[in-house]
Amino acid sequence: MTRSTPSPRRPARPEGRRSIFWRLRAVWYGALVLLVVAVGGLWAALNTLRLPPAQRPIETSFVCDLNVGDGQCGFDNAMARLTAEEERVTVRYEDLPPVLVQAVLAAEDRNFFEHNGVDPMGIGRALYQTVLGDSESQQGGSTITQQYVKNVYLSSERTLDRKAREAVLAVKLERELGKQEILTRYLNEVYFGRGAYGVEAASRTYFGVGVKDLQLPQAAYLASLIRSPETADAVQHPAVADRRRRSVLDGMVATGAITRAEAESAADLPWVTAATNRPDGTVQPPTIRPRVAQRSDFGDVKYTELGSEYWVEWVRQQLRARYGPGAETRGLRVYTTFDPTLQQAAVDAVYDTLDQPEGPTGSLVAIDDEGRIRAMVGGRDYTTDKVNLALGAEGGGSGRAPGSTFKPFALAAFVEDGYSVKSRFRAPPTTQFPGVYAGAGQVWKPANYDKSDHGIETVEQATWNSTNTVYAGMVDTIRPERLAEMARRLGVTAQLDPVYSLVLGAEEVSVLDMASAYSTFMDRGTHISPYSIRRIEAADGTVLFDAATGVERRQVVQPAVADTVTAVLQGVLQNGTGKNAGLRVPAAGKTGTTNDAKDAWFTGYTCNLTAAVWMGYEQPREMKSFKGQQVAGGTIPAGIWRNFMSKATRGTAPCRFPVADAGKRILNSSMSPTSGGSTSSTSVPRSSTSSTVPGSSTTTTSVPATTTTAAPRPTTTAPPRPTTTVAPPTTVAPSPAVASPG
């Protein structure tokens, strides 16, 4: 019997096969966990990550002259633009023409007003165009908000971490700012090439018009520059520029911003590099301006023929001193006291006279009765010599010895101490004061120019004639420390050593210092700190500084003292060493000449304008004569001063100075200080007689090389003294009949 072998049992078939999703359930679960973690992380980032402080953009500042009204300083009327290597001007959303907004959105972010900072559709579109190799497309994966975040808060590194932070911060920013604000900030920040940051600077740079005046072809072109501005400059790469502009115009058609006909008309416009005339006679601004060559230190500058660069550089220094390094690139609007009319008169007066390139140069500073520096001649040519001769050490050079123009400060101290200008001093050929100039054992020996004895002179006579030995006696009376203190009070900022020779102008000062101090006499003892900036506004119009409230005004000497000095200084122009400076209106002033005529000065004023004039070589050297004329304060500088002031006062009504003699004591010095003589003083009522008595003498000083001396002038006969005087009966020795240059 055969036994059968049983067949193997087949495994039972499941009732239904499991799906692949079931079999990969662990994978999906892990992915879900990761998704939840990612969403949670994003949510945490949105709630904990803070926007870092935005980097302050570098923005162009504008410098305007005196004729530009408050709130009006800008591109169209600035005398200079202060920039670093980039130019930027902020605008408001209301200033953006709709055509520009439409062009930028069509080129950069068509869904800007719909997304929340990140546009997934835009990212997908960018990837698709990259696969197709569409290099002409202007659409990218980053939204305008993301681009702004990258430019302002982050770096341009290409890492996943930076991109993730960019997306998070973009969403965060959209929670804090409105769409219009973000778009405006973006357009004020983005780079358009040619050193132009922001759409306003770009509009001016490429087309010469403000952003408000952009037309369709111009707006489309600027929008096309955002992706890669240097490769689409229409002057350098017109074919690329044409393709870029056409691409933006096509995008605007796609978004419905313009019609196809408008796009074709704008795309067919040729690139023009010069202005053309419209049929109505007005000028059509250029479609594209040629690339500008290397900019100057200040961008475009007006009035360069008037030396405006010296002004602008000084303004820049003041802004940095006030607001810190880089202050001039913070979008400030700076209103200066630069008066083109008076500046022209100043430049003409100085360099129509000093017209030899290898000859002496000169400087002039004019200050009005409000403290405004209306004119400042800093040098002959800023491009070859950037030292501002008007500012002394502050201008990059050094001060200069002012000679006898320093004597009125001693006069002011003398009067303030109660002495009358009718006080009398011996005027010997020489005098000496031991141990008062350079130290113990040293002797200061000031001398009159011709070494002759001028007898006895009143203080006012000695001022008119610039008699050195009389003023040596005066400084011995008031003391050098008192003189230095008075000069500082009046407005001299230079460091002064309180030595006897200070009275003859041995210390170095600036032209601005001298104009400032004399303006205190003009303003009857009130010192107004001279200023060249009258107003500063921030880019948004906020007033940061106003000279009306921010400039110091102090009564430093009594009006009667200042008026007494002025009365005496009027005689310098009427009968003394400053006759060459005479005007049709009342004026006062003083001449000054140093050893070997290395420096020659005239400083003077009318009732409402003070001007100081200096001439010499930048590296001091002798200048006995110039163009056949003897150099002294009373010759060439006095003539320069007269020429300037004649134009500056033209059309103004004459005003008269008060007449005064504030001193109540008449000092009588019958002998020189070192001859063992005696002095006496007499109290008298204040004089009501005009201090314009003529008198003359020739003076000089014999001192170490750093002190000053007066050069000779042609001799003239001195008129007789009037019989009216407040001095006691005393015989006055006649003075030699020559006039001193001062």
458 forms bridges with which residues in the sheet? 424
Residue 643: which residues within 8 A CB-CB, separation 6 or more?
A: 348, 349, 352, 353
Q: Could you tell me which of 506, 223, 104, 490 has the C-alpha nearest to residue 498?
A: 506
Average pLDDT, the chain: 80
Average pLDDT over residues 106-127: 75
Residue 60: pLDDT band with limits 50, 70, 90: confident
Strand partners, 680: 668
Residue whose C-alpha is closest to residue 211's, from 93, 108, 301: 93
The first and second tokens of residue 478, run together, are: 């008031």
Q: What share of the chain is helix, strand, coil (3-state, %, to 5)?
A: 40, 15, 50
Assigned superfamily of 84-284:
Biosynthetic peptidoglycan transglycosylase-like (1.10.3810.10)
Q: Which residues 6+ apart lie within 8 Å of 33 measured at CB?
A: none
- Give the per-residue SS3 of 353-402: CCCCCCCCEEEEEEEECCCEEEEEECCCCCCCCCCCCCCHHHHCCCCECC
The predicted model gives 376-391 an average pLDDT of 93
The dihedral built from the CA positions of residue 40, 43, 48 and 49, taken in this order, carries a sign that is positive
For the residues 677-700, what does the mean pLDDT come to?
Answer: 37
Q: Nearest 5 degrees, angle CA 47-CA 49-CA 52? A: 135
Question: What is the DSSP track for 265-276?
Answer: HHHTPPP--S-E
Q: Which residues contact 96 (CB under 8 A, 6 or more apart)?
A: 183, 184, 187, 199, 211
Q: What was the pLDDT predicted at 695?
A: 31
Q: Find residue 366's DSSP bridge partners.
A: 375, 611
The fold of the 377-683 domain, in CATH, is Beta-lactamase (3.40.710)
Most confident of 144-153, 255-264, 265-274: 255-264
pLDDT tens-digit map of 135-178:
444 445 688 888 888 878 776 666 666 677 778 888 888 888 88
Given pLDDT bands bounded at 50, 70 and 90, which one contains residue 692? very low
CB 550 within 8 A of CB 576: no
Instruction: Render 239-284 in DSSP notation, one character per residue.
Output: HHHHHHHHHHHHHHHHTTSS-HHHHHHHHTPPP--S-EE-TTSPEE
Residue 671 has pLDDT above 80, yes or no: no
The answer to whether residue 454 scores a pLDDT higher than 60 is yes
The mean-pLDDT minimum among 186-200, 273-287, 594-608 falls in 273-287
Please, are residues 515 and 529 in contact by the beta-carbon 8 Å criterion?
no
Domain ranges of the chain: 84-284, 377-683
Q: Are strands 361-368 and 283-284 parallel, antiparallel or unpaired?
A: unpaired
Q: Express each pLDDT in 706-716 by its tens digit.
A: 333 333 333 33
pLDDT in tens, 608-625: 999 999 999 998 999 989
SS3 at position 335:
strand
Residue 563: pLDDT above 60?
A: yes
Nearest to 640 by CA among 419, 400, 364, 371: 364
**pLDDT tens column, 587-611:** 999 999 998 889 999 999 999 999 9
Triad 537, 539, 542: Cα angle to 5°: 45
In angstroms, rounded to a whole number, what is the distance separating the alpha carbons of residues 564 and 658? 8
Alpha carbons within 13 angstroms on the beta-carbon side of residue 555 total 5
